[in-house]
Amino acid sequence: MLFGGKHLERLRGADPATVVRGLHAAAEEFSGGTLADDLCLVAARARGA
């Protein structure tokens, strides 16, 4: 099973800090509660030109 876009869709419109926290929690849940390695998440909000 892959970690897919459904996790991102749930966080649409959230501020970057909330997105990072949400993805971190989802990754921990996906891995059974313990991450086997380091996890680096970076989030930025793009603004239209």
Residue-level pLDDT at 2: 65
Q: How many CB atoms lie within 10 A of CB 35?
A: 12
Amino acid in position 17: A
Note whether 28 and 34 are within 8 A (CB).
yes
Residue-level pLDDT at 13: 87
Note whether 43 and 12 are within 8 A (CB).
no
Percent above pLDDT 90 for the chain: 10
Residue 8 to residue 34: CA distance in whole angstroms:
20
Residue 30 to residue 32: CA distance in whole angstroms:
6
Pairwise pLDDT comparison (17 vs 49), residue with the higher score: 17
Residue range 20-41: average pLDDT? 89
